[in-house]
Copies of this chain bind each other. A is one copy, B any other.
Amino acid sequence: MTEILIESEANARFKRWKKLAHEARAVKKEGATLLEGIHLCEVVLGADASVTAVLIDDQRATSEARELAYQCVLNKGAKCYALSSSLYDQLSPVEHGVGVMCEVSVPKRAEVSDWAQADVLYLDGVQDAGNAGTLIRTAVAAGVRVIAASPSTAILWTPKVMRAAMGAHFGAKFVEGITPQAFRDAYQGHIYAADARGGEDLFAADDHYTQGPVTWLMGAEGPGVSEAGLTVSDRRFYIPIEAACESLNVGAAAAVCLFDTRRRRMKA
């Protein structure tokens, strides 16, 4: 395998990767992202994903990591770059990485026809990358294959979000940067807001799962669902928690809501 060696911080490719690694806006602008580690690279190999480059840590890459890089070259037509450890470490989101990373093209925004009649998880302002990743992972596990997000939500294809999602990105379609109103205008199912402040008791309700496609709308950490989010929601549900507690983490709340819908459908 012919690798291109990069040892200088001044290298243009390296400078671009460094932006992708650390600046969410660069991921959005370039339409590309970085994935680190055996698991994520394996997922990418098995997925319908465009891998433009594979990066290895020239000093520390394990034989497993090198083999994966080889597979990316062979099966994805990726170019392979060998980086000195000091450069590699500047791109890696973890301290002791295994030494393999992929540059992947961010897929195109889903078409309206992909989501207007599908189950959707709509993120209405979620800020934390770890939460966003867990939410995507939970949605895909629950059979919800479209992730929509308001303009105020964290960018969803950054290395941090992808790390938390553990590869679930490749099982979903994405509509980022869509306002609640624009989503509502095109969506043909029901929109349910998860709102700790009030609404119907999720567990007491029993008529909200058989009526076609459902979007669960989850709000930001702290403020919760936005006014615009509430406006477009057909119904509002709360999870009956102990009075002593203010609210659930948004990832935990989404797990309860999404799997409540899944359970009811499986029973029906």
Contact = CB atoms under 8 A, between A and B. Distances in A.
Interface of A: 130, 134, 137-138, 140-143, 164, 166, 168, 171, 203, 239-242, 244-249, 251-256, 259-260, 262-263, 266-267
Contacts of A259: 239, 256
A140 B244 contact: yes
A138 to B, nearest CB: 5
Contact of A242 (B142, B248, B267): B142
B143 A242 contact: yes
A248 B138 contact: yes
The binding surface of chain A is classed by DSSP as helix
Contacts of A138: 248-249, 252
A137 B203 contact: no
Contacts of A255: 248, 251-253, 255-256
Q: Which 4 A-B pairs have the closest CB atoms?
A: A252-B255, A141-B241, A255-B255, A141-B245
B137 A248 contact: yes
B137 A244 contact: no
A141 B242 contact: yes
Given A141-B239, A255-B256, 15 more contacts: A134-B252, A137-B252, A138-B248, A140-B245, A141-B242, A141-B248, A141-B252, A142-B241, A168-B245, A203-B262, A240-B262, A240-B266, A249-B251, A251-B252, A252-B252
A267 B203 contact: yes
